Amino acid sequence: QKEVEQDPGPLSVPEGAIVSLNCTYSNSAFQYFMWYRQYSRKGPELLMYTYSSGNKEDGRFTAQVDKSSKYISLFIRDSQPSDSATYLCAMENTNAGKSTFGDGTTLTVKP
């Protein structure tokens, strides 16, 4: 079983919809949680990171962490066609120098 599980999708929504992306994890040592966006044939780009349980908002993006349930989410409001990409969750143990990634959810936002 992988340490980080992510809904694979694909997910297709109309423009303007609210998108919910989710990951679960099994390693309770994970303390930092990140969301990356990856366009086709490009490297991942960091969208958000968070440490504590609760919500963190940045523009149209909200990251949510529930450490008690080992569950994290990324919400995208007013989704745009330019949001079409693969979204990767990633987690880090504070003592490690590496991130453990989920396998990504492919999102398509249709105009």
Partner 1 sequence: DTGVSQNPRHKITKRGQNVTFRCDPISEHNRLYWYRQTLGQGPEFLTYFQNEAQLEKSRLLSDRFSAERPKGSFSTLEIQRTEQGDSAMYLCASSSRGMGPTDTQYFGPGTRLTVL
Q: Which residues bind partner 1 (CB under 8 A)?
A: 4, 6, 8, 31-32, 36, 41-46, 49, 51, 88, 90, 92, 94, 96-104
Element (H, E) at 33: strand 30-38
**Shortest distance in whole angstroms from residue 32 CB to partner 1:** 5
Alpha-carbon torsion (100, 37, 33, 4), positive or negative: negative
Nearer to partner 1, 103 or 108 (CB): 103
Residue pair 101/2 in contact by the 8 Å Cβ criterion:
no
CB of 111 to partner 1, least distance (A): 26
Beta bridge partners of 64: 55, 73
Nearer to partner 1, 1 or 111 (CB): 1
Half-sphere exposure of residue 94: CA atoms within 13 angstroms, side-chain side: 6
**45 vs 66, beta carbon nearer partner 1:** 45
Q: Could you tell me the smallest distance in angstroms from the CB atom of residue 21 to partner 1?
A: 13
